[in-house]
Amino acid sequence: MLRKLREFDYLEPSSLSEAVSLLDHHGKDARIFAGGTDLLVTMKKGELNPRYLIDIKGIPGQDYIRYDEKEGLRIGALTTIRQIETSRVIQESFLPLAQAARALGSIQIRNRATIGGNLCNASPAADTAPPLLALDAAVKSVGSQGERVLPLERFFVGPGSTVLDKEILTEIIIPHPTLHTQGVYLSISRRRAVDLALVGVAVVAILDPDKGEWKAVKIALGAVAPTPVRAHHAEKVLEGKSMDAGLIEEAALIASEKETYCISDVRASDWYRKEMVRVLVQRALEHVSQITQEAHR
């Protein structure tokens, strides 16, 4: 049952620097408010009762998608999931991210939810996290000590927790993909459209179609550990090796057995989640290898 919201002060800074100083001043009593699609639900459940809400949605210039070959892709933290889903450059060159955006919630949620909120909420099941990990994304944040950029892989600490310390996430940076890079995001959830992923798998691979080899492979998993994770052991099975079916099966098995710390809950058992990791990793690897071969013919 939803409880009545406790009283809070609603603050509306007009610049990032003002938001940073409010966050610095109010510390743990304050929460950043972006789309509010996670935060309001948590507050209504009574799980979080911030004294101050710092609404950053009105700060101009923080919702952008910029791309060039040198700098790669830069996404402002306040960019909505719907903007990502419908961006032509993301659909064409960073497909797993577009696929993850399409899988997130309903269209009403995607119109409101931001990519920064999806990462900062730090749910192990956050849909945009696996593709961003597989795409080698970095995140930029700002606090009273200035700006810092760190790899997304070092951003998540545990369920609901990140390395941010009185800081605001401002930008997601994804390097320009090299030639013959292919990727895909696959997820399963229960049948209702707004259910969170039970398992999410992103694969981004650079393949050498002439030699028939995996040059580099990045595999990331969602909802199967306390944070979204890269499957490094499984990646090593493939890197520098030929694109044969046996190796794909071996990598998928290793991802399922060595890289997951699944739990059983009301949504699925740990056995089922592990099995789905094996199935989805295998499907994703087969898919990228197949499209590379087809494009090369």
Ligand X SMILES: Cc1cc2nc3c(=O)[nH]c(=O)nc-3n(C[C@H](O)[C@H](O)[C@H](O)COP(=O)(O)OP(=O)(O)OC[C@H]3O[C@@H](n4cnc5c(N)ncnc54)[C@H](O)[C@@H]3O)c2cc1C
- Identity of the residue, 18 or 239, whose beta carbon is nearer to ligand X in the bound complex: 18
Contact (Cβ atoms closer than 8 angstroms) between residue 231 and residue 280: no
List 22, 36, 166, 208, residue binding ligand X (CB under 6 A): 36
CA atoms within 13 A on the CB side of 138: 13
Q: How far is the CB of 78 from ligand X (least distance, A)?
A: 7
Beta-bridge mates of residue 53: 10, 31
Q: Which residues contact 45 (CB under 8 A, 6 or more apart)?
A: 2, 3
Residue type, 99: Q
Beta strands of the chain (E only): which ranges? Answer: 9-11, 30-33, 52-55, 65-68, 72-76, 138-143, 146-151, 156-158, 161-162, 168-174, 181-188, 199-208, 213-222, 229-230
Q: Is 263 helix (H, G, I), strand (E, B) or coil?
A: coil
User: Counting contacts by CB under 6 A, is residue 194 touching ligand X?
Assistant: yes
- Identity of the residue, 33 or 94, whose beta carbon is nearer to ligand X in the bound complex: 33
Contact (Cβ atoms closer than 8 angstroms) between residue 61 and residue 18: no
User: Counting contacts by CB under 6 A, is residue 35 touching ligand X?
Assistant: yes
User: Counting contacts by CB under 6 A, is residue 157 touching ligand X?
Assistant: no
Tallying the residues shown for the chain, one arrives at 297
User: Counting contacts by CB under 6 A, is residue 32 touching ligand X?
Assistant: yes
List 174, 188, 196, 254, residue binding ligand X (CB under 6 A): 196
User: Counting contacts by CB under 6 A, is residue 37 touching ligand X?
Assistant: yes
- Segment contacting ligand X by CB under 6 A, of 3-11, 35-43, 242-250, 265-273: 35-43
List 72, 76, 117, 131, residue binding ligand X (CB under 6 A): 117
User: Counting contacts by CB under 6 A, is residue 77 touching ligand X?
Assistant: yes
Burial classification of residue 213, based on how many CB atoms lie within 10 Å of its CB (0-12 exposed, 13-18 middle, 19 or more buried): middle
Q: How far is the CB of 218 from ligand X (least distance, A)?
A: 20
- Segment contacting ligand X by CB under 6 A, of 103-111, 173-181, 213-221, 283-291: 103-111
Q: How far is the CB of 10 from ligand X (least distance, A)?
A: 13
CA 296 to chain centroid, in Å, comes to 30
Q: How far is the CB of 129 from ligand X (least distance, A)?
A: 8
Could you tell me whether strands 161-162 and 65-68 are parallel, antiparallel, or unpaired per DSSP bridges?
Answer: unpaired
Total number of residues that touch ligand X (CB under 6 A): 29
Footprint on residues 221-240 left by ligand X (CB under 6 A): none
User: Counting contacts by CB under 6 A, is residue 109 touching ligand X?
Assistant: yes
List 31, 82, 230, 273, residue binding ligand X (CB under 6 A): 31
- Identity of the residue, 169 or 280, whose beta carbon is nearer to ligand X in the bound complex: 169
Q: Which residues contact 257 (CB under 8 A, 6 or more apart)?
A: 274
List 84, 90, 97, 127, residue binding ligand X (CB under 6 A): 127
CA atoms within 13 A on the CB side of 277: 32
- Segment contacting ligand X by CB under 6 A, of 84-92, 116-124, 232-240, 246-254: 116-124
List phi, psi (to 5°) of 93. Answer: -115, -10
Under the rule (CB under 6 A), what is the footprint of ligand X? 31-39, 41, 77, 81, 104-105, 109, 113-114, 116-118, 120-121, 126-127, 164, 168-169, 194, 196
